């Protein structure tokens, strides 16, 4: 399977899950995280996670500056931390929405369209 075909399939999958009427959002969050990594969008993935942790830092009891703490952790550690904190604080829907809106913004960028479509 060619790389461009595979990337196109990821984009179609992202667009298919772009609604909030999904009962179990946890596995989809994991799929979006993995798909961004496979598309070599790790820095965007890190940005999504940091943005989520920063936005909900008061609810998640995150006193440290996440943008400094972020550099001390691997991307996988950051994802596990964000996912566990979101699950414990009943914010999985918010993390899911953060991923969906960010992926929509990424897919609308000119550079992304020219590179992947």
Placement of tokens 């969008």 in the chain: 41
pLDDT band of residue 82 (cuts 50, 70, 90) is very high
Closest Cα partner for 49 from 25, 76, 27? 76
pLDDT at 23: 63
pLDDT in tens, 24-44: 788 899 999 999 999 899 999
Cβ neighbourhood burial of 2 (10 Å; 0-12, 13-18, 19+): exposed
Count helices and strands in the chain by DSSP H and E runs: 8, 0
| Distance (Å, whole) CA 101 – CA 51 | 12
Q: In which element (H, E) is residue 95 found? A: helix 92-108
If one counts every other C-beta atom within 10 angstroms of the C-beta of residue 12, the result is 9
Geometric angle at alpha carbon 80, from 100 and 108, rounded to 5°: 20
| Distance (Å, whole) CA 62 – CA 53 | 8
pLDDT at 61: 84
């Amino acid at each position: 399977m060619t790389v461009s075909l595979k990337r196109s399939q990821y984009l179609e999958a992202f667009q298919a899950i772009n609604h909030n009427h999904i009962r179990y959002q946890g596995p989809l969050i994991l799929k979006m995280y993995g798909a961004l990594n496979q598309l070599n969008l790790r820095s965007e993935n890190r940005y999504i996670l940091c943005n989520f942790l920063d936005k909900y830092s008061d609810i998640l009891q995150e006193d440290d500056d996440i943008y400094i703490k972020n550099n001390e952790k691997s991307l996988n550690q950051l994802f596990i931390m964000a996912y566990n904190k979101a699950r414990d604080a009943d914010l999985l829907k918010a993390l899911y929405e953060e991923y969906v809106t960010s992926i929509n913004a990424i897919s609308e960028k000119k550079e992304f369209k020219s590179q992947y479509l």
